[in-house]
């Protein structure tokens, strides 16, 4: 019995269908402010990027609103197990800050702003910064709306409606 050769694309689809991957999420903004245990990303990019590490190398994106709405969905959700994150930024003045390691909870969107409650694990969180990226720890949630499988499942459902 002959089998068709698999491609990297087939491997990605297989990994996404099995749910055997963890996605790292990245959010970018033009500036950040922090005050009394809250971090706000201003002029937020409209999409949250996600990708997995080897061997799957799955990449994609979802709207940041979808990311926030999926916060408490699925087994091992961010609501149940708040993620750690690294805030990497360009300083607004001549002082160079190191990246900041945080725990994120309670995300809230307001137009192009996203606010998290944060606990600083390592580093110094300044009151304001310039352009930044927030790298959010990977989790494996194959049935959640923010997983690759969940996003693809929604896309298939929408395509059937057309």
Contacts of 4 (CB under 8 A, 6+ apart): none
Distance between CA atoms of residues 92 and 126, nearest Å: 10
Q: How many CB atoms lie within 10 A of CB 10?
A: 11
How much is the average pLDDT of 13-19? 42
Distance between CA atoms of residues 152 and 110, nearest Å: 26
Residue-wise pLDDT for 26-67, tens only, equals 999 999 999 999 999 999 999 999 888 777 778 899 999 999
Q: Above pLDDT 90, what percent of the chain?
A: 44
The model's pTM is 0.72
Distance between CA atoms of residues 83 and 104, nearest Å: 6
Nearest to 133 by CA among 21, 24, 22, 23: 24
Residue 120's alpha-carbon distances to 42, 123, 124, in angstroms, are 19, 7, 8
Residue 92, pLDDT score: 61
Residue 142, pLDDT score: 41
The span from the first CA to the last CA of the chain, in angstroms, equals: 38
Mean pLDDT value across the chain = 77
């Amino acid at each position: 019995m002959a089998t068709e050769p698999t491609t990297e694309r087939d491997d990605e689809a297989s990994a996404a269908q099995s749910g055997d991957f963890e996605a790292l999420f990245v959010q970018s903004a033009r500036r950040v402010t922090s005050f009394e245990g809250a971090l706000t990303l201003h002029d937020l990019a409209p999409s949250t990027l996600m990708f997995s590490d080897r061997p799957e190398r799955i990449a994609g994106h979802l709207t940041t609103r979808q990311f926030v709405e999926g916060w408490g969905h699925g087994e091992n959700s961010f609501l149940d197990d708040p993620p750690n994150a690294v805030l990497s930024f360009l300083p607004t003045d001549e002082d160079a800050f190191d990246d900041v390691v945080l725990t994120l909870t309670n995300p809230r969107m307001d137009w192009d702003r996203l606010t998290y409650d944060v606990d600083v694990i390592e580093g110094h969180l300044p009151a304001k910064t310039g352009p930044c990226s927030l790298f959010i720890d990977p989790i494996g949630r194959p049935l959640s709306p923010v997983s690759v499988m969940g996003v693809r499942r929604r896309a298939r459902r929408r395509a059937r409606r057309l």
